[in-house]
Chains A and B, each alone.
Chain A
Amino acid sequence: MTNTWLTDKERNYVKPKTWLARIHIDGLLLLGLIMLLITGLITIYSASGGDLNVTKHHAIRILIAFSLMLAFAQIPPAKLALITPWVFLVGILMLVAVIVFGDMGKGAQRWLDLGFIRFQPSEIMKLALPMMVAWLFAYSRYPAHPARFMLGLFIVGLTAGLIVIQPDLGTSILIAMSGLFVLFFAGLPWKIIVGALFSVAIAIPVVWNFLHAYQKQRVLTFLDPESDPLGAGYHIIQSKIAIGSGGLEGKGFMGSTQAHLEFLPESTTDFIFSVFAEEFGLIGVILLLTLYSLVLLRGLYIAYRAQEAFSRLVAASLTMTLFIYVSVNIGMVSGLLPVVGLPLPLISYGGSSMVTLMISFGILMSIHTHKKMLSN
Chain B
Amino acid sequence: MIPLAFDETQTSLKQTRSFKFRILFVILVILIVFVGLIARMTYLQWFNHEKYLSQADGNRISVQTLPPQRGHIFDRNQVLLAGNVSNYKLNFRRENIIQFDATFEQLKTLFPEIETSLIDEFSETLRRTPRHRDLPLPYSLTEKQAATFAANRFRFPGITLQAQLKRTYPQNSSGVHFLGYVGRISQADLQRLEARRYRGSEVTGKIGIERAYEDRLHGYPGLQTVETNAQGRVVRILDTIPPKQGENITLTIDIRLQQFIEEKLGDRRGSVVAISPINGEVLALVSTPNYDPNLFVDGITHAEYNALLNNPNKPLINRALRGQYPPGSTTKPFVALGALEQGFTTTTERIFDPGYFEFQDHRYRNWRRQGHGWTDLKRSIVESVDTFYYKMSLDIGVDGLHSMLSPFGFGERTGIDIPGELGGILPSQEWKRRTHGEPWYRGETIIASIGQGYNLATPIQLAQATAILANRGRIIQPHLLKADRDSIQYVTDPEAEAETSDQIPIRSRNHWEYVIQGMIDSVHTPRGTAWNAGRHIKDYQIAGKTGTAQVFSLHDAEYNADELEQRLHSHSLFIAFAPASNPRIAVAIIVENAGGGGRVAAPIAIETIDYFLKELDQ
**Contact call B15/A82, Cβ cutoff below 8 A:** no
Using known A-B contacts A240-B44, A263-B230, A300-B23, determine if residue A245 contacts B38 with beta carbons closer than 8 Å: no
- In the assembled complex, the CB of A49 is this many whole angstroms from the nearest CB of chain B, namely 11
- In the assembled complex, the CB of B477 is this many whole angstroms from the nearest CB of chain A, namely 59
**Contact call A300/B26, Cβ cutoff below 8 A:** yes
- In the assembled complex, the CB of A121 is this many whole angstroms from the nearest CB of chain B, namely 20
**Chain B residue, CB-CB nearest to A301:** B23
Q: Quick check: is A281 within 8 A (CB to CB) of the other chain?
A: yes
B16-45 contacts to A (CB < 8 Å) = 18-20, 22-23, 26-27, 30, 33-34, 37-38, 40-42, 44-45
Q: Quick check: is A138 within 8 A (CB to CB) of the other chain?
A: yes
Binds A, one of B6-14, B142-150, B152-160: B6-14
Using known A-B contacts A82-B4, A247-B53, determine if residue A261 contacts B59 with beta carbons closer than 8 Å: yes
- Specify which of A85, A139, A282 is in contact with B45 (CB 8 Å cutoff): A282
- In the assembled complex, the CB of B8 is this many whole angstroms from the nearest CB of chain A, namely 5
B35-92 contacts to A (CB < 8 Å) = 37-38, 40-42, 44-46, 48-49, 51-53, 55-57, 59-60
Closest 5 A/B residue pairs (Cβ): A244-B52, A245-B56, A142-B15, A261-B229, A244-B44
**Chain B residue, CB-CB nearest to A88:** B2
**Contact call B46/A187, Cβ cutoff below 8 A:** no
**Contact call B40/A334, Cβ cutoff below 8 A:** yes
Separation of A312 and B19 alpha carbons in the complex (Å): 9
Binds B, one of A28-36, A105-113, A323-331: A323-331
Separation of A364 and B45 alpha carbons in the complex (Å): 35
- In the assembled complex, the CB of B217 is this many whole angstroms from the nearest CB of chain A, namely 38
Residues of chain B lying within 8 A (CB to CB) of residue A282 = 41-42, 45-46
Q: Quick check: is B227 within 8 A (CB to CB) of the other chain?
A: yes
**Contact call B44/A261, Cβ cutoff below 8 A:** no
Separation of A319 and B330 alpha carbons in the complex (Å): 110
**Chain A residue, CB-CB nearest to B47:** A244
Residues of chain A lying within 8 A (CB to CB) of residue B312 = none
Q: Quick check: is B553 within 8 A (CB to CB) of the other chain?
A: no
Binds B, one of A58-66, A156-164, A285-293: A285-293
Q: Quick check: is A243 within 8 A (CB to CB) of the other chain?
A: yes
- In the assembled complex, the CB of A173 is this many whole angstroms from the nearest CB of chain B, namely 17
Separation of A146 and B480 alpha carbons in the complex (Å): 106
Interface of A is mostly: helix
- Specify which of A3, A85, A289, A312 is in contact with B38 (CB 8 Å cutoff): A289
- Specify which of A245, A258, A263, A334 is in contact with B41 (CB 8 Å cutoff): A334
- What total of chain B residues lie within 8 Å of the partner, measured CB to CB? 47
Interface of B is mostly: helix
Interface string of B232-251 (1 = CB under 8 A from A): 00010000000000000000
Separation of A298 and B230 alpha carbons in the complex (Å): 42
A168-191 contacts to B (CB < 8 Å) = 184-185, 187
Given contacts A286-B41, A323-B26, A323-B33, 4 further A-B contacts (CB under 8 A): A243-B41, A245-B49, A262-B229, A285-B45
Residues of chain B lying within 8 A (CB to CB) of residue A303 = 23
Q: Quick check: is A308 within 8 A (CB to CB) of the other chain?
A: yes
Residues of chain A lying within 8 A (CB to CB) of residue B437 = none
Q: Quick check: is B3 within 8 A (CB to CB) of the other chain?
A: yes
Q: Quick check: is B225 within 8 A (CB to CB) of the other chain?
A: no
Residues of chain A lying within 8 A (CB to CB) of residue B229 = 261-263
**Contact call A247/B19, Cβ cutoff below 8 A:** no
Interface string of A223-252 (1 = CB under 8 A from B): 000000000000000101111111110000
**Contact call B37/A330, Cβ cutoff below 8 A:** yes
- In the assembled complex, the CB of A118 is this many whole angstroms from the nearest CB of chain B, namely 30
**Contact call A248/B46, Cβ cutoff below 8 A:** yes
Residues of chain B lying within 8 A (CB to CB) of residue A310 = 6
Q: Quick check: is A309 within 8 A (CB to CB) of the other chain?
A: yes
Residues of chain A lying within 8 A (CB to CB) of residue B230 = 238, 261-263
Separation of A289 and B53 alpha carbons in the complex (Å): 23
Separation of A238 and B20 alpha carbons in the complex (Å): 42
Separation of A81 and B3 alpha carbons in the complex (Å): 10
Q: Quick check: is A342 within 8 A (CB to CB) of the other chain?
A: no
- In the assembled complex, the CB of A331 is this many whole angstroms from the nearest CB of chain B, namely 7
Q: Quick check: is A304 within 8 A (CB to CB) of the other chain?
A: yes
Using known A-B contacts A78-B6, A261-B229, determine if residue A244 contacts B59 with beta carbons closer than 8 Å: no
Q: Quick check: is B345 within 8 A (CB to CB) of the other chain?
A: no
Using known A-B contacts A261-B229, A289-B38, determine if residue A244 contacts B15 with beta carbons closer than 8 Å: no
**Chain B residue, CB-CB nearest to A3:** B10
- Specify which of A185, A247, A258 is in contact with B46 (CB 8 Å cutoff): A247
Separation of A184 and B230 alpha carbons in the complex (Å): 46
Of the listed residues B6, B10, B14, B38, the one surrounded by the most CB atoms of chain A closer than 10 A to its CB is B6
Separation of A293 and B7 alpha carbons in the complex (Å): 33
Separation of A330 and B51 alpha carbons in the complex (Å): 20
Residues of chain B lying within 8 A (CB to CB) of residue A289 = 34, 37-38
Q: Quick check: is B172 within 8 A (CB to CB) of the other chain?
A: no
- In the assembled complex, the CB of B259 is this many whole angstroms from the nearest CB of chain A, namely 56
Q: Quick check: is B187 within 8 A (CB to CB) of the other chain?
A: no
- Specify which of B19, B27, B37, B59 is in contact with A241 (CB 8 Å cutoff): B59
- Specify which of A81, A187, A296, A336 is in contact with B15 (CB 8 Å cutoff): A187
Separation of A351 and B48 alpha carbons in the complex (Å): 35
Separation of A316 and B26 alpha carbons in the complex (Å): 10
